[in-house]
Structure 1
Amino acid sequence: MEFQADHRRVHVKQVKIIEAASNPKLLLSFLNNGLQNIMRRLDYTEIGRTGRYFNCNGERQQMDNLYLYSGFKANFVHLEAGYFLRVDSVKKVVRTETVLEYIDSFYRMYEGKDRDEKRMALKESLIGTIVMTNYGKMQYYKVKNVLFIKGEEVMLDENLSMTKYYYDKYKVEIHKPTQPLLEVEPKRRYNQGLVLLFPEVCLMTGIPSSFDELRRKKISECSIRNPEDKVSEIQSLMDKLKPTEGINVLQQLGMDVNPNMSKLIGRVISVPRLQLGGNNSVESGKEAGFNLHSKPIYQYKHKVCLAVIYFHGTKLDELLETFRNTSKALGIEMRMKTFQLATRSLKDMERQMKEALSGNFGGNICLLILPANWKSDYKKLKKYAIEQVGILTQVMTDLTLRRRSLMSIATKVLLQIVAKRGNTLWVP
């Protein structure tokens, strides 16, 4: 309590006592919140609430128009022996492609479509993706929405537009004033304001869908670390954590983080040999990455009568040709029939599903090829197909049909269709 002349000022501090034995969840929340603060002071940014932390301003590895950033997945866990800090070294892939470049290429792919359809498809493609700012202190953000307004129209105060703010604070000049804006999730949970970014100064993250299997494998080889390197990276983080203020606070509370890693003894369980059809088996050592497209499946009992339901303008030739060739190699008897929708309505889609089941074709499973902006109706259509029509479904989007790796994707989709009909692809 302070006395100032005739006034009295009272400072009240609320303290909450956490008993670890009675409330381990609350203690874990306290420890992980403290870990977030510690990692932030070490210049590591958490992506969402995943427990994955990356130093965007640290060293990065460049390959094939991509950047690979190093980081850690770290969180406290409660096990039988007590509370442990679980740490693993991880990699994050960031493209050299800006979000604006992605938007421009996306629009070129949708050339000829009306404006509203383009915008809806773009929203479906970007919402939920992670982008990284390419100015100032680089940070990751999750896209929440795409707003089709100009940055010059967004006024932060009477005399300061969003475009001018970027130039004044970061010396970043926005070259395309008509680009849409990205609404992203705030970095602080208590921040309820609108956070907007220019696509021009943000980078896409993740491996592009256009990359073939060979390029993906090359990236995986660079991302996967051997055990010795992982141990060295984790130990370096533990050495940094030890002198931090956050660790000192834990020590004052009677808790300490042992910088020495706990060693657990385990054994490697041998991978079972996978048996295919016709006395074929998967080569030893290839179980995690074998291609099932040239050998028969283990057991084929149920015929596949596939009804392909699509919208006008969707190109199906390559998809159907892959289905025909692959089904023969798999030893599957398969019939297909296409049903083109007259209108872009859910009712028309539902009507075609009924027709596929009840007509002379006798379909027993449907492949629904939806526009990208229909992804939100996925669950509704699946539920309707099972409950009202009584038919199984497999769903793709028309964007998938435009990918360079369509043959590989089509083979995987076909295997899912075959398995849904009750056939056995392989057995241990």
Structure 2
Amino acid sequence: MALLLVGRALLTAGVGLSQLGLALGLCGAVLLWRERFQAQAARMTPWTWVGSSLMGLGWAASLMPLSAGSDRPPLQALGVSLLALGLLGDRLRRFARPFDLTGLFLVGLQGLWLTRLVVPGALREELLLRVGAIAGGSGLPFALAGVTVFPYVLLFVGLGDRYRRRNQSALARQANFLSTALGLGLSLFSLANPLLRALNLTFSAVTLAAVIVAVATSAVIPAAIAGETQLPQPTDQDRQRAQVGSGWLALLQLLSLGAVFSWATVIAPNLSLLGWSLLSLCCVLLEWALSIAPASRPWRRSAWVAGLLLAGLGYGLGYLDRIVVAFNREPFPQAYLLWWLVPIALVALAEHPRCLYPKTARLFSLMALALVQPFGWLEAGTRLAGFGLATLLSGMHSQRWQRLWVVAIAPAGAPCSPWTWPRSCGKLT
């Protein structure tokens, strides 16, 4: 009967299709709700397809004025979206299928886009001007979505945690996948604006860290309350569920370091190569300190690898700055000598009992000694100090790592003494 009334309005009364979008959506929703009481399984029946098609047609018809340039708010499309959210939520509650969760996610996401169009255009322009005055106009308005849509990511992160606690692993994985995909997409949107990029990466890193901690501690069972029987110990399935994949830890490292470097661009937009190199050095030392912290092996391995990659980045920036300084005939900054801390830190790591790869740390320490030497070649005193440090650390390595080539490196500074010592003494006196 309702469809007959809609058809009569279209054919005889001359009502436009765009004005009947909500009516078509209601007809489709009624068919889907009626089929709900007859279908006992999650399979799609012919009437389900008809109802879904009517709702899709109603939603598209409601958006026709927007394509024509109208500034009228799409209230009918919002109404159809709310109906779809209700029906999908009901199917998700009854059948617990990841497909329904994905549909709920997509419908809710386009609902956010429609909600933005409800705000008057003048008010939107005023808000953009105020945001641009604070964050700058680069990348707006798309970069603003990286912050304003982020609560939607938090919503699905919370849903994933809820499903995980209910042992609905398929829904939990799907919710985590959807929230991660949306979070990465929002990060890409915010790349063009320094402040919004820094905020987005910070929110993303904190959220992902909270999720990883929650998953890692999911097998921890609280102590029994006094007077009650002892609670059972975690099973192998609980421990397996609590394992955090290396990919998630790598993503957390990437987001965290991206947030640090993004805030550096906000605070110091004209930071020199020396500043970036020293910032990388600070991050290297912090990562390696975390690699020997009392944490699980995947956490420490992730910090160890991140420190190595940052060290390579920092050395590359240092060599690039050295080329620029030599081309401009400027004095080389002595602050680069702080990179001597890298081989020293690697030696300390190799001696620590919680170091995961002591032999690898010693090998990279020798490589760092070779890489850091050019930073002190322009001054005789720093050359002497560099060769002395190389001799000392190589001698320490030869005590623990009894290899002929390691032992041969220890006196490597001796051949340089005939030309280094006299010039150094002349400079120092």
TM-score interval, smaller chain: under 0.3
Larger Rg: 2
Determine which structure has the larger strand proportion and give its number: 1
- Of Structure 1 and Structure 2, the greater helix share is in 2
TM-score normalised to structure 2 length: 0.20
